[in-house]
Amino acid sequence: MPKHIIIDTDPGIDDSLAFLLALASPEVIVDGIVTIHGNASTTQVTTNALSILELAKRSDVPVYRGCELPLVQPSMLSPETHGNTGLGYAQLPAPQSQAQAQHGSDFMIEHIMSHPGEITLVCIGPLTNVALAIRKEPRIVQAVKEVFIMGGAIRHQGNTTPLAEYNTYVDPHAAHIVFHSGMPMILTPLDVTYQCIFTTDDLSRLQKIDSPITKFIADSTRFYMEFHDEYQKIDGCVINDPMTLALTFMPEICDYENLYVDVDISAGVGLGNTFADFYNYDKKSPNMKVALGVRPRMFMELFLERMEKLAKPNS
Ligand code: RIB
Ligand code: CA
């Protein structure tokens, strides 16, 4: 039986690759996309989400606009990482379709509450919408099936500050609400995503297929690779979000530990830092499963095979 998922997202180059992987994977059905500020403004990421769905000929998937700003922090976009449009050098036509009128957090609540135990949330951006949904309707904590979260850095260094990962840094207060909510969470931190590097060799394999999909992947990831080279001396680009999405139907890509994980919301150098109580000093029960081991090529082979399938004509 395919899983019904809602993707909460700030597309974003790696977010767009997660969309494409979901749409190419019969194991999941995308019931809706909810957009959130992050890699670009909420207006821009909502336009991007609609354009990516049109690129994949899947405008049937509804898009819901989410929050404009973090709960407390000022907005912090990432043009240096994803480009001014959020999609690197890719240039997609303006979308013909429009976002739904309902707010993204309200769609999340309505859909989860009307399908108790059936909806999987895949959170690959700042957690503002999810935190707001929890505050509006606390019962979603029990009604949601599971929550996959791309975010945090446990033993790994940050990618936004020396300590903090981008999604938990942009809205640490939202992450705090979600982490302490009691939702059934599976966290995919930088500890595992930084081992999943999409390389020029991987891109060359996809470019054997002449398709608008492979052109988009090339144009968007070329910018992303330039960022990773300049800022982090990485040969390729870290595709955090499709890796998180893949775990919804291929959990064996990673190894997990049940841990108590918290996020620093103090106004200092540690803001947004996520940490695990490995020695259980605080005697608190684990609040999430954390992916700390990974089989990178198992993931990359899956991703490349599914992109080839999606890109082939008449696919
Ligand atoms: O730190 C990586 C995460 O932040 C990814 O989800 C990326 O798209 C950005 O949102
Ligand atoms: Ca993202």
Is ligand 1 within 6 A of the CB of residue 150? yes
Quote the pLDDT of residue 313.
74
CA–CA gap between residue 278 and residue 84 (Å, rounded) = 39
Among residues 257, 219, 35, which one has the least CA distance to residue 125? 35
Q: Are 183 and 289 in contact (CB under 8 A)?
A: no
Q: Which CATH number covers residue 301?
A: 3.90.245.10
Q: Please report the pLDDT score of residue 170 as a whole number.
A: 98
State in Å: Cα 241 to ligand 2 middle.
6
Q: Is the pLDDT of residue 314 over 90?
A: no
165 lines ligand 1 (CB under 6 A): yes
Alpha helices in 75-199 (DSSP H): 79-82, 104-114, 128-136, 140-143, 166-170, 172-179, 190-193
Tens-digit pLDDT profile for residues 96-148: 999 999 999 999 999 999 999 999 999 999 999 999 999 999 999 999 999 99
Six-digit token string for 223: 């910018």
Stretch 271-283: mean pLDDT, rounded?
97
Residues in the chain: 315
Range of the domain at 207: 3-311
Dump pLDDT digits (tens) for 17-59. 999 999 999 999 999 999 999 999 999 999 999 999 999 999 9
CB 188 within 8 A of CB 244: yes
Alpha-carbon distance of 303 to 125, in angstroms, equals 20
pTM, rounded to two decimals: 0.98
Choose which residue among 36, 156, 166 to substitute to test ligand 1 binding: the one with the highest number of ligand atoms within 8 A of its C-beta. Answer: 166
Q: Supply the DSSP string of 154-177, one letter for each residue.
A: SSSPPSSSSS--HHHHHSHHHHHH
Average pLDDT for 248-256: 98
What integer is the mean pLDDT of 149-166?
A: 98
Q: Which amino acid, residue 195?
A: Q
The pLDDT of residue 206: 98
Which 8-state DSSP code applies to residue 243? H
Structural domain count of the chain? 1
The verdict on whether omega for the bond into residue 12 sits within 30 degrees of 0, i.e. cis, is yes
Mean pLDDT of the chain: 97
Give 54 Cα–ligand 2 centroid separation in angstroms: 19
Using the structure block, give the residue that is written with the tokens 């605080």.
282
Of all protein residues, whose CA lies closest to atom 10 belonging to ligand 1? Answer: 125
The pLDDT of residue 60 is 98
The arithmetic mean of pLDDT across residues 71-92, rounded, is 97
Q: What spacing in Å lies between the alpha carbon of 79 and ligand 1's midpoint? A: 12
Q: Mapped to the 3 state alphabet, what secondary structure does 57-72 carry?
A: CCCCCCEEECCCCCCC
